[in-house]
Amino acid sequence: MSRKLPLAGGETARTACARGLLRTGVEEKTGEVLSAAALAGRVGWAADLVSGMVAALLAGHWNATDVDVLAAGEDAGGRPLPSNAWMALRRLGWTVGPAEGIRVNDRIVRIAQEAAGRTLRAAKWRADLTAGVLATWPADPARRTPQEWDQVREAVPGGEYLPSSVIRGRTRQITAFVARYGRMPVNVFELEAAPRIARMLLLSACDGQQATLERADDAGRALLRLQLPTRPDPRSYKDWTWISCPISLPPTVPAGAVLHLPTLRIHRGRVRADLAYTHAAPKTRRSGHTVALGVDWGLNTLLSAGAARLHADGTIAALGAGGMFRAAGVLAKQHRLRRLSEHLHAKADHYQRLIGDDEQHALTARHQVLAEEIRHVSGRRSNLNDALARAAARWAVDQALAAGATVIYVEDLRSMEARGMGRTMNTRLSQAVRGQIADRMRHLAAEVGTAVVTVPARNTSKHCPQCLVPLRHRKAPDRPTVAGWTWALCGSCGWQGDRDQGAWRRIAARGLTHQTKTVTDRTSGAMVIRTVIDKLEAGAVITPEPRTSRTDRSKTGPTRQQTARPAPRRRRAPSPVSPSGPAGQRPQGHAHTDRTRLPRAADRNQGVTTISTPHRPRWATLGAGFHLHAHATPPRWADPIPDTTSDMGSLS
């Protein structure tokens, strides 16, 4: 199969990853069919051999000198090191082998060197960050002065745009080391031990002598061939045999995509395959956009988004009222799981103090049960965050497609920290999954050629989107009993509305006016607008729509004929109160006559205090499941169509 991807004009090659599952395998020499458990056992034996060699490599080179040599990109002779980690390690002479008496081929050693090389290269950034923090250690680690912040940012590579939370986290780690040992650490390699090695096989470091991957006749299937051991301690090359494993490709993999060798890992007794593929996608542009989607973050209203258009004369107009992605129910469930996790951790710590060093203690079995329950709850929280991130990102990209936007502007909240806002608010901020949503959004938007650009979040909710005058915030007029200052009012131009609705207008306008200042971050590859320029910000205003006079009653069409006895399709007055039973007079409203009570999931009105209610939460009447907790409003990119059916006569 050809590894070159043909590209047309305006297309670029994009590499993505899909998950697959190896359900069975066939041993080519004997024709024996391997079950899923047997296949997982053989892959696990190979992964154990690789993990042992990777641990040996990291133990010998987990120091500042070797990491600096590898990160320098040159060998002893001054020649540039290859981009492949395993080739770079071999150029430097960092070799490794299996235990005595174990026989593996050279490709298995390649896998171990590739995994170790990637880990050592990733440690360089943490080493430079720790060195910069140690070199500019403040007088009070809990509170740096502005001058000390400037010093630490100058000492850290890329510190000018590094979130302050990253520096604070590294400072707390060093402070804990000082409290434990009574001295400052030398570098990150004394502060952190060598990382644990995952049991996986990086087949991308191999060639056809170890593994091959070809598409089958069916476009949705592929065949993976690889050599696996027949015993956990292979003594000769005869203990390695070729296994053929069919893989069902997910529907997200295009038919013309180029497949790459996957990464195999064991998960709950089954072999998972992380399959990389390259396909053609439209190119994204950093500038030249006329229609943009602005996305604002919130707590209960997780996302607020709307489109804006940049006209030829430089004015910017909003396209419709925008929409909201509300996830109060999902965040409430996440809050319950967090409280349960805290309770389990506290109980497990108490058991550990009682057990001490006594391995035969009576509470040892209970402590193991608690540890397993903690892992289970952590898995539920992780899965819930993944589902929420996928749903929110998919919603945002769909809004951009519906509006015809070629760019999505998202405010940059990486430096937001959960502190100083009260216990409840700090907890809700720390549980946000903004980073996952942004990553998912970039992934989905790249498939359709839509750019995702982060913009500074300064004053997006504070200033008016039409005149940039500071807004006054108050309770919403339609929700006077709900806590929070969600309504914004401008005393200059008279604009008023939800503060999140004003924020996405400001974000879209700021992105359109600053699009020529868009740059690509070297470390993450994400597009970002780093600073706000006052001259460009002055033009980042939304032009208000012309208002129509309510007194204008000019005739625009023929008068509709009216019957003598109009029968409205919608009842304008409620029916009398229903009797106690289903028989008798029709109940009020639109309830069915065969029901004495509304269904369980009928009440979905949720407020901002949903997740902080300790006893009888308002979401208790909701149905179970994810989709009943995630509410996405439909897009309204144009004025709603007026209802003309209310006064119509009888259809009979």
Residues 181 and 301 in one domain: no
pLDDT at 67: 93
Contact 622, 629 (CB under 8 A): yes
Question: How confident is the model at residue 486, as a pLDDT?
Answer: 82
Of residues 591 and 142, the one with the higher pLDDT is 142
Closest by alpha carbon to 51, among 188, 232, 213, 209? 232
* Residue 317 and residue 182 share a domain: no
Evaluate whether residue 417 is within a structural domain. yes
Least confident of 33-37, 401-405, 426-430, 477-481: 426-430
Would residue 565 count as lying in a domain? no
Closest CA to 367 of 347, 384, 387: 347
Number of compact structural domains in the chain: 2
Confidence of residue 413 (pLDDT cuts 50, 70, 90): confident
- Token pair, residue 470, equals 């500071």
The verdict on residue 297 lying in a domain is yes
The 10s digit of each residue's pLDDT in 77-95 is: 889 999 999 999 999 999 9
502 with 381, same domain: the answer is yes
Q: Which of 171, 191, 211 is the last residue of a domain?
A: 191
What is the total residue count of the chain? Answer: 652
Range of the structural domain that residue 404 is part of:
291-336+373-537
Residues 529 and 419 in one domain: yes
In a domain, 230, yes or no: no
Task: Report yes or no: 601 and 624 within 8 Å, Cβ to Cβ.
Answer: no
* Weakest-pLDDT range from 203-207, 421-425, 441-445, 554-558: 421-425
**CA-to-CA dists, residue 462 to 296, 371, 559, angstroms:** 13, 46, 47
- Identify whether 86 is part of a domain: yes
The model's pLDDT over 510-527, given as tens digits with 9 standing for 90+, comes to 999 999 999 998 878 889
Mean pLDDT, rounded, of the chain = 83
In this structure, are 331 and 447 located in the same domain? yes
> Are residues 174 and 299 located together in one domain of the fold?
no
Summarised one tens digit per residue, pLDDT across range 547-580 is 666 666 677 778 777 766 655 555 555 555 555 5
Asked if residue 475 belongs to a domain, the reply is yes
Q: SS3 of 476, please?
A: coil
The helix/strand/coil state of 603 is coil
Buried b (16+ CB within 10 A) or exposed e, 304-342: bbbbbbbeeeeebebbbbbbbbbbbbbbbbbbebbeebe
According to the per-residue pLDDT averaged within each range, which of 155-169, 341-355, 432-446, 638-652 is highest? 341-355
Shared domain check, 297 and 169: no
**pLDDT band (50, 70, 90) for residue 422:** low
422 and 298 assigned to the same domain: yes
**Is pLDDT of 356 > 70?**
yes
CA atoms lying within 13 Å on the CB side of residue 560: 9
> Which of 191, 213, 238 corresponds to the end of one domain?
191
* Statement to judge: residues 182 and 307 lie in one domain: no
Quote the pLDDT of residue 25: 94
In a domain, 599, yes or no: no
Domain endpoint, select from 129, 161, 191: 191
Check residue 47 and give its pLDDT: 95
Give the pTM: 0.75
* Secondary structure of residue 436 in the 3-state scheme: helix
Indicate the DSSP class of residue 239. G
Position with higher pLDDT, 386 vs 552:
386
Using the predicted structure, report yes or no on whether residue 627 has a pLDDT greater than 60: no
In a domain, residue 162? The reply is yes
User: Residue 408's domain is classified under what CATH number?
Assistant: 3.30.420
Q: Please indicate, yes or no, whether residues 380 and 507 belong to a single structural domain of this protein.
A: yes
